[in-house]
Every structure is written in C-alpha cells, then in structure tokens.
Amino acid sequence: MEALNSLEQWDDFVAGRYDPTKKTEDFRKFDDSAPAGVREFYRLNHAHQTRDFVLAKKRQYGARTRGEMGIWEALDYLNTLVDDSDPDTDLSQIEHVLQTAEAIRKDGHPRWMVLAGLIHDLGKVLCLYGEPQWAVVGDTFPVGCAWSDKIVFPEFFAQNPDSAVPQYQTRLGIYEEGCGLRNVDVSWGHDEYLYHVVKDYLPDEALYMVRYHSCYPWHREGQYSYLLDGHDRAMLPWVQKFNPYDLYSKSAERPKLSEVKPYYDELIAEYFPAKIAW
C-alpha cells in the first residue's frame, strides 16, 4: 500500500499546514500530529529525492515522448485517477482544478491565470504512468544544495544519500549566488513535469505558478533567497497570489462542467494547439 490513501489526503494536509489562521510556531506541532500516512509519504520523498534522481526524471520526461494529448483529454485522463479509499468519490481531480480556475475567474484575474488554475495539477498524470506518490506530489525543494530546515519534516533528509555528498551540503551547493531558479534543480514532481509540457505556450507568470506551486519553502517560507534572481523576485507575488486558490477553493460552489465548458474551450484554444506533447 502506498503511503497516502489518496492524493487528496496530501492536499488536505497541505491546506491544514498552511492554514492562514495558524501561527507559524504551530507548524512543527502540526507536523508531529500529522497522519501516519503523511509522515510515511515524506519519509519516502525526502529519502529518495536526490539530485541524481531529479536529473534522471528530467531526462526521462523532459523529452515528452509519451504521446500527444489535448488539455481536455489530459483532464479526462487525470480524472481516471480515482481513489477507492476516498469516501468523497465525487471530489475528483477535475473538480479541484475547475474550482481553482473558477475562483480565479470570479475574482477577475487575467485569463492566463484562470488557465493556470485549470491545468496546474495535470502533471499528476505521472501517477498514471506508474510513478510512486513521493515522485508526484508533496512540497518541493531545491536539490544540490543544503536543505532548508523550513522544509516539512527536515529530519527525514538524514536518509537521503545526498546528505553524504559534501558538495551538496553547503549553503549554495553546486549553484552560484543569485543564479536564478531556472538554473536550480528542484525536487521532481507534478509541478516540474507539467512545466516542461506547457513551457512553450503560457506567459512566464503562469509558468511560475505551474512550476513552483508546491515549492512552499520558497513561496511561503521565504527560503533560498540567495538562489533567486530579479526575475524570480518579480514572479514570486504571482505564485503567492495563486496559492490560496489552490488551497482554499475546495469548499466553493461546485461548477457544472457543461455550463462552463464553452468558456474553457475558448480559453484553452487561445493558448494551446489542439494537441501537445506529453
């Protein structure tokens, strides 16, 4: 059995961990009381996300050799990711991304941000390719340099083979001061994968939302400022603007797909060709 009963269990954990009403000092306590599945998930994630693993996955999936799919096709495919263990079977993946997108749309944000909401979790199709959960979801973090102690469950990094590589354990590691996040390898998951799939089609602000929405150590905890360049700093507010829609649109009214589909058909066609390479 996998560590988490469902991907939604992880989403719920993240939403609870980053609850705006929760004081920072409560985070550690919350980690201690985290469900066993969440702890086990992060134990695996932190033990296995080495720099070599990240580079290998970028080579494997960055080439986009898994065939062509349109955005709706990918959404339908992601929706086949159903959890037997989840009592709320109606709350599918497609519902989460639709609620995220609709909440962004209602607040009058730019069209590309609505689209980012719609597609942001499509990288979770990695699960359907057979990747383990720890290589698909979870907070992401830079590899190849010292781990921030603000990363959730930092104690689990002791089991990561990179902890024995002195070059990776300094503040800058293999990087140069201010090199920019684009030159930094971040732990592998649905964010990074989808970035490679959509990078030719969306404005940079949307690409940052896609690529770094799980990078809580950066966008929430303010870590790794020494790796950032001016462009990262300019994009950060957009990633932060996106985050509450991802976390807290869940209880919002349920959008009816048939009603909103024409809007999204037009929006998708504005930015994407009929099919893109995955």
Q: State the residues that interact with Fe ion by CB under 5 A.
A: 121, 246
**Residue closer to Fe ion, measured from CB, 3 or 145:** 3
Distance CA 38, CA 250 (A): 20
**Residue closer to Fe ion, measured from CB, 121 or 232:** 121
Enter the tokens of residue 109: 């944000």
CB of 61 to Fe ion, least distance (A): 16
68-69/276-277 β-pairing: antiparallel
CB of 159 to Fe ion, least distance (A): 25
**Residue closer to Fe ion, measured from CB, 205 or 246:** 246
Helix (H) or strand (E) holding 79: helix 71-79
**Residue closer to Fe ion, measured from CB, 121 or 205:** 121
**In a 3-state reduction of DSSP, which class is residue 68?**
strand
**Residue closer to Fe ion, measured from CB, 82 or 269:** 82
**Residue closer to Fe ion, measured from CB, 37 or 117:** 117
CB of 214 to Fe ion, least distance (A): 6
CB of 213 to Fe ion, least distance (A): 5
**Residue closer to Fe ion, measured from CB, 147 or 212:** 212
Alpha helices for 82-229 (secondary structure H): 93-106, 111-119, 190-198, 204-212, 216-219
**In a 3-state reduction of DSSP, which class is residue 90?**
coil
What Rg, from alpha-carbon coordinates, does the chain have?
A: 18
Amino acid letter at 162?
D
Distance CA 230, CA 215 (A): 18
**Residue closer to Fe ion, measured from CB, 122 or 145:** 122
CB of 96 to Fe ion, least distance (A): 6
Q: Which of 147, 181, 151 is nearest to 51 (CA)?
A: 147
Q: Which of 57, 175, 201 is nearest to 116 (CA)?
A: 201
CB of 164 to Fe ion, least distance (A): 31
CB of 210 to Fe ion, least distance (A): 9
> How distant is the alpha carbon of residue 103 from its chain centre?
18
Listed in sequence order, the residues at least 6 apart from 185 whose beta carbon sits closer than 8 Å to its beta carbon are 51, 54, 55, 58, 142, 143, 144
CB of 121 to Fe ion, least distance (A): 4
Torsion 178-179-185-190 (CA) sign = positive
